[in-house]
Structure 1
């Protein structure tokens, strides 16, 4: 792995082999795009002499497509490399534009076009089926034939660190009772991996190769009000129980940085229809960690997901639905076979019947006001290194009424 002249970068999870992109601002200045290296953000516009990075969103850059993504990444790596022939000159020109992270505010990295959330974990879908259909087959008949998903609300996708207000909605106080309007009492998380679209498609066309369209990945927490969701979702699916907030990491890791993490994906039975058959290995060997008030409570393994992101993209566009720059689609809750690998509180607490005992002696089933949830993830990098994705975190505020 190439070393960098940036102090501390080679021993951090944000090496020259990673270089995630984000949008930042300094006090009194407008937002602009940068790349993270170590504990610094590199202001891209002045070092690359490209005004596309001054717009306050990555959308215009992402719209340039895969060749531009690759070439830009190579230019940044060359500027930051300690081994480049012109390393001394590069450092002199670039170092003034390295800004410590504690001096910047991070923003949502892209203007979200559409947001789609999938349901791609076999274990998660099976667990929920067992809870709510205990006397029937846990999986619905379509589940192994296509990646189930729903369209979310892009306007409530927020950057990591944004507080989340407890939502209000209709819920049933108990069996046979009339619905009431009030704050959710079963506020939950969903530890997910999100995929950010760069190059779009024309209306009526299906997407082509996965990496021709998808720029990179970011951690996502699709907050869920389970009591609101359980009352409203029949017959059309999630609505107010999901649309109040979805948190996204401030940093997008390019697909190219995850080459060492690619795996074939889980075996599928029955074999999917031809448009869903995997042409390349787009499973990803990521291990997530969920922390509640700083305490680890789960370690979901993304590599065990049943449906891989290339299959999600193929299904999402097979009907000709247009794909736009800035679209975000997410995996759905990442859960593994072990109780310690469940990626939502409804699974960890088995719908509130089992408590989660925290180190301070307090118990949890679902989220309480003031709780902070942080999701991190790591993956294999080049030469035995580890890449750590930008975290996604949020704190629950009380309902205003």
Structure 2
């Protein structure tokens, strides 16, 4: 087991087995650069490789230039940083470029190229089917044949702690004679993971499920804010639009795939067997545990391991028609929900579309989000050497 000389609290999200990437600005500077988190510190990678082409790619306001270098370079940097943090040889260089995380400003880690969101949890899809189609089939006929998704809006992906304005749009209740325009009254959350594409692909050439790790750089926490009333009126017959496109929050730290090797598990049995282009030789299920807090109170603990479609299958389906990948592409897993009531990853499920309000510790109740509410999501996973690694957090407050 490799030990770092940097002091790392026992319960830290960021042991040396993790080393997530982020973009930060140190105190007293106006220049953003790439770093990795270790314990309560962030190591300035642009300074470690100063004066080199790699250093120039790390001295930027996003991870994109570094990610574009591809998986060989990702592996080299990770191994080199691990050596620096676990040996004494260059301790002076490293210590000179460590900054306390609580003294830096964190930014959106990637310049998002395209954003796609999936619908990969069978339990979430089943719950919504029961809510909206009571007495009918919970899952639509295509659901177990392909990863259902929609193309979102890259320009409204925002970093953690960005205030979320309540969106306006058209809505029409079942008994309303006509639609009205105004602020959403069913503002919701969706607890998800986001997968960040580092290496692009060629237009016209699908990416195999087996090449997932050659293209995806790492994983973030993602909250796909959703206006359920706007969505319900607009999404037939096409799909989500204004009810989803107003804001999507992601965490500032990108956990590299290499840190998640110990978290890999098989996906649930897929029946019927998917078509050949979706069949994985080595499944990319992930044993992650999420926690969702509303105004500081835990309201859900969604487990990712039960997700029906894996991120490798989602990526293969995204490119099955020849669509190309670009550095900075982001795709969401869709809401993560488990079989138990306390494992549902959205308020529409937790309150069964408002029928069963949540009671918070202060005695107040919620069906959907009110102005001033703060939602915070965290996650952890098994890492190598028997440690647990974390993802930091993604948080947002409804401002109006």
Q: Counterpart in 2 of 1:357?
A: 359
Question: Which whole-Å CA distance do the structure 1 matches of 2:305 and 2:256 have between them?
Answer: 18
Deviation at 1:48, TM superposition (A): 2.5
Q: Deviations over 1:270-296 (max 9, x none)?
A: 000000001212000001110000110
- TM-fit CA distance, 1:372: 0.3
Q: Spell out the pairing of 1:32-71 with structure 2 (5 A cutoff).
A: 32-49=33-50, 50-71=55-76
CA contact (8 A) 1:266 1:305 kept: yes
Cα distance in structure 2, aligned partners of 1:7 and 1:67: 29
What secondary structure does 1:182 align onto? strand
Contact 1:4 1:10 in 2 (8 A): no
Aligned to 2:328: 326
Structure 1 unmatched ranges of 5 or more: none
Aligned length: 393
Which residue pairs with 1:297 in the alignment? Answer: 299
Match of 1:339 among 338, 341, 359: 341
Aligned CA-pair RMSD: 1.0
Normalization by structure 2: what TM-score? 0.97
SS class of match (1:230): helix
Q: In structure 2, do the counterparts of structure 1 residues 98 and 9 end up closer, same or farther at CA, with 3 Å as the change threshold?
A: farther
Q: Deviations over 1:198-249 (max 9, x none)?
A: 1110110111410000010000000000000000000110000000000000
- Aligned equivalents of 2:283 and 2:144: distance in 1? 19
Q: How does 1:156-195 map to 2 (within 5 A)?
A: 156-195=156-195
Deviations 1:36-83 (A, max 9, x none): 0001110101112311111111001001111100000001011110xx
2:13, 2:392 within 8 Å by CA — same for their partners in 1? no
**In the aligned structure 2, how far is the partner of 1:189 from the partner of 1:158?**
15
State the secondary structure of the residue aligned to 1:164: coil
What is residue 386 of structure 2 aligned with on the other side?
384
Q: Is the 8 A contact 2:166 2:183 kept in 1?
A: yes
Alignment of 1:113-128 (within 5 A): 113-128=113-128
Contact 1:10–1:38 at 8 Å: present in 2 too? Answer: no
2:228 is aligned to: 226
**Structure 1 position 29, deviation (Å):** 1.6
3-state DSSP class of the match of 1:14? coil
Question: Could you tell me which residue of structure 2 aligns to residue 215 of structure 1?
Answer: 217
Q: In the alignment, which residue of structure 2 is the partner of 1:31? A: 32
1:188 touches 1:344 (CA, 8 Å); kept in 2?
yes
The two structures have a TM-score, normalised by structure 1, of 0.96
Counterpart contact for 1:173–1:180, Cα < 8 Å: no
Judge conservation of contact 1:3–1:10 (CA < 8 Å) in 2: no
Give the match's secondary structure for 2:2.
coil
Q: Give yes or no for contact 1:187–1:226 (8 Å, CA) kept in 2.
A: yes
Distance 2:345 2:131 in 1: 15
